[in-house]
């Protein structure tokens, strides 16, 4: 929910219910830093403040394996700002977690030192398995999704997590090195992508799913009858695809999560997005200008998942990793 904000209560305001605690999670991702401040009571999470700022920590990372100093500095500044906002809301704890780019970086110590110096908070570099675990817990904290069999796909900047579960039980989870920034940097494209560039990207994603994902997830999917499993996307890409489809200038959790994106709608969005130059994409209602480049990779991944595994509909959850982490 890039640059979105939920109006927070004033410092010292009462908790939302008996036994609830006010906590914060700052998620340091490959593409952006995200903040969640929430009242937490068991499995109930009531968001008070949600913000996101793109810092593109993974910019240039995949050529060298090293995080660039400007990206580290920008990320550290945003984490410090988000921590200050969380403290102003009198949270009892702030948790800072870092994901794909941080865990793969040869110079992750440089990032940890910068975050420690700027925010004064210990940072957890979490594994892909932990990322998948929390993404699942976050999604099923919504009663709508705590029941039917789900394949949850969390596309991030550097990795994508696939989680298969039913109710509150997971059957399968795995993190793969496929992400929007990773794919964008591996396959540079023109300002207005050519058809050949789309075909190259499509083939690359399809081959990855066929070679890397299908062999490990298909046996778990085979345990369910045809059509029983719902596809749920969580993370920035699906929220943006929903906002574009609905023409939402601002974040609206209720409308986003009520939408069911058909495979045809996702395909039409991909055709439109890949057919426009960057400047035109920046003017699309619902698409923040700073996500107009990386959205091409995201929509390509979701379209390929729907095609490869024959899902006619994509549901959207805005309750992923941070919701799971704030409950932990």
pLDDT-derived band at 19 (thresholds 50, 70, 90) equals: confident
Contacts of 132 (CB under 8 A, 6+ apart): 154, 161, 162, 163, 173, 174, 175
Neighbours of 194 (CB within 10 A): 11
When pLDDT is averaged across residues 106-121 and rounded to a whole number, the result is: 95
Neighbours of 117 (CB within 10 A): 10
Distance CA 274, CA 322 (A): 30
Residue 8 above 80 pLDDT? no
When pLDDT is averaged across residues 184-198 and rounded to a whole number, the result is: 95
What integer pLDDT is reported at residue 50 of this predicted model? 97
β-bridge mates for residue 96, sequence order:
26, 123
Quote the distance between the C-alpha of residue 160 and its chain's center. 9
pLDDT tens digits, one per residue of 128-159: 999 999 999 999 999 999 989 999 999 999 99
Positions of E strands within the chain: 21-28, 32-41, 44-54, 93-98, 123-125, 150-155, 160-166, 169-176, 230-234, 260-262, 313-317
When pLDDT is averaged across residues 297-325 and rounded to a whole number, the result is: 97
Output the six-digit token pair for 187: 């396959």
* Portion of the chain with pLDDT greater than 70, in percent: 95
Domain ranges of the chain: 21-126, 140-325
Contacts of 219 (CB under 8 A, 6+ apart): none
pLDDT tens digits, one per residue of 218-236: 999 999 988 899 999 999 9
Contacts of 215 (CB under 8 A, 6+ apart): none
If one looks up domain 140-325 in CATH, what number appears?
A: 3.30.420.150
Q: Mean pLDDT for the chain?
A: 93
β-bridge mates for residue 151, sequence order:
164, 231
Contacts of 61 (CB under 8 A, 6+ apart): 30, 67, 68, 71, 101, 104, 105, 185
When pLDDT is averaged across residues 94-109 and rounded to a whole number, the result is: 96
β-bridge mates for residue 36, sequence order:
25, 50
Place of tokens 């396959």: 187
What integer pLDDT is reported at residue 226 of this predicted model? 82
When pLDDT is averaged across residues 61-67 and rounded to a whole number, the result is: 94
pLDDT-derived band at 14 (thresholds 50, 70, 90) equals: very low
Residue 1 above 50 pLDDT? no
What integer pLDDT is reported at residue 18 of this predicted model? 65
Lowest-pLDDT range, 33-37, 58-62, 87-91, 241-245? 58-62
Contacts of 7 (CB under 8 A, 6+ apart): none
What integer pLDDT is reported at residue 6 of this predicted model? 52
When pLDDT is averaged across residues 18-46 and rounded to a whole number, the result is: 95
When pLDDT is averaged across residues 260-275 and rounded to a whole number, the result is: 98
Are 21-126 and 140-325 in the same CATH fold? yes
If one looks up domain 21-126 in CATH, what number appears?
A: 3.30.420.40
């Amino acid at each position: 929910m890039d640059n979105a904000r939920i109006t927070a209560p004033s410092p010292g305001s009462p908790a939302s219910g008996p036994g609830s605690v006010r906590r914060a999670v700052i998620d340091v991702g490959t593409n952006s830093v995200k903040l969640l401040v929430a009242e937490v009571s068991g499995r109930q999470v009531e968001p008070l403040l949600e913000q996101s700022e793109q810092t593109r920590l993974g910019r240039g990372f995949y050529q060298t394996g090293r995080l660039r100093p400007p990206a580290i500095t920008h990320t550290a500044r945003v984490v410090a700002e988000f921590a200050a906002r969380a403290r102003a809301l009198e949270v009892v704890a702030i948790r800072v977690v870092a994901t794909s780019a941080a865990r793969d970086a040869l110079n992750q110590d440089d990032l940890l030192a910068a975050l420690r110096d700027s925010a004064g908070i210990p940072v957890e570099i979490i594994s892909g398995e932990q990322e998948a675990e929390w993404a699942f817990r976050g999604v099923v904290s919504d009663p709508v999704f705590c029941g039917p069999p789900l394949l949850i796909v969390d596309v991030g900047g550097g990795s994508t997590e696939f989680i298969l579960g039913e109710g509150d039980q997971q059957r399968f989870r795995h993190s793969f090195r496929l992400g929007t920034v990773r794919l964008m940097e591996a396959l540079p494209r023109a300002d207005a992508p050519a058809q050949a560039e789309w075909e190259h990207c499509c083939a690359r994603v399809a081959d990855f799913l066929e070679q890397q994902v299908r062999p490990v997830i298909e046996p778990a999917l085979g345990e369910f009858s045809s059509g029983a499993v719902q596809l749920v996307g969580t993370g920035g890409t699906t929220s943006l695809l929903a906002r574009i489809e609905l023409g939402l200038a601002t974040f609206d959790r209720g409308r986003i999560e009520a939408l069911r994106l058909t495979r045809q709608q996702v395909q039409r969005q991909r055709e439109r997005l890949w057919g426009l130059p960057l400047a035109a994409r920046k003017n699309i209602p619902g698409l923040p200008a700073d996500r107009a480049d990386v959205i091409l990779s995201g929509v390509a991944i979701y379209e390929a998942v729907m095609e490869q595994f024959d899902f006619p509909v994509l549901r959207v959850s805005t309750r992923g990793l941070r919701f799971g982490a704030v409950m932990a």
